[in-house]
Amino acid sequence: MGEAELHLERMVKAPIEAVFDRLADIESINEWQPHRGSIRRGSRKTSDGPVGAGTTYEDSTLFGKAPGEVETFEQPTRLVYHWAQKAPWGSMLAEGWPGYTLEAVGPQETLVHHDARLRTYGIYGPATPVMKRIALRERTAVLDALAASFT
């Protein structure tokens, strides 16, 4: 098993409520998140009702499908997703916890603290350093796209 953690920050020129709503809207993520150079191909909500703790979703990536769940939903300051990817034979390969803590800096500015944890298993374990580099590139692109989506 391998583990990696990332800590990134980005200033977004938008009110904290708008930033939280954009990060929590699983269906609209496909409109603003990066496509070029990303391992992510799309996301879709798989449970009914409004997004909140326990809402389920599925990401499609270059590595396959990764079902997930909203683990923490504390509007408008904290949002944590949890996804897991399994091999076709059922063994866990990797799971991640991308989380966002939002801090209002002013009425039109939000500081986004983005923490992401990655855990790898089995055949993915030795690849943890490479997967961390991929995750860093991916998470940086997400924050850049989030900031750009408000300009």
Instruction: Return the CATH number at 98.
Output: 3.30.530.20
- Specify the pLDDT at position 42: 87
pLDDT band for position 119 (50/70/90)? very high
- List beta partners, residue 108: none
Give the closest residue to 7 by CA, choosing from 132, 129, 120.
132
How far is 89 from 27, CA to CA, in rounded Å? 29
State mean pLDDT over 112-130: 94
- Specify the pLDDT at position 55: 98
Give the closest residue to 97 by CA, choosing from 11, 2, 4.
4
- Specify the pLDDT at position 52: 97
Q: What is the pTM of this model?
A: 0.92
Task: Indicate whether 130 pLDDT > 80.
Answer: yes
How far is 62 from 66, CA to CA, in rounded Å? 10
- Specify the pLDDT at position 62: 81
Output Rg (C-alpha) for the chain, integer angstroms.
15
Give me the number of domains the chain comprises. 1
At 13-68, the pLDDT tens digits run 999 999 999 999 998 988 998 777 677 888 999 999 999 999 999 998 887 889 99
- Specify the pLDDT at position 105: 97
Q: Which residues span the domain enclosing 37? A: 2-148
Percent of the chain, pLDDT > 90?
A: 80
- Average per-residue pLDDT for the chain: 93
More confident residue, 36 or 134: 134
- Specify the pLDDT at position 63: 79
State mean pLDDT over 94-115: 97
User: And the tokens for 114?
Assistant: 């983005």
Q: Which of 41-45, 109-113, 119-123 is the most confident on average? A: 109-113
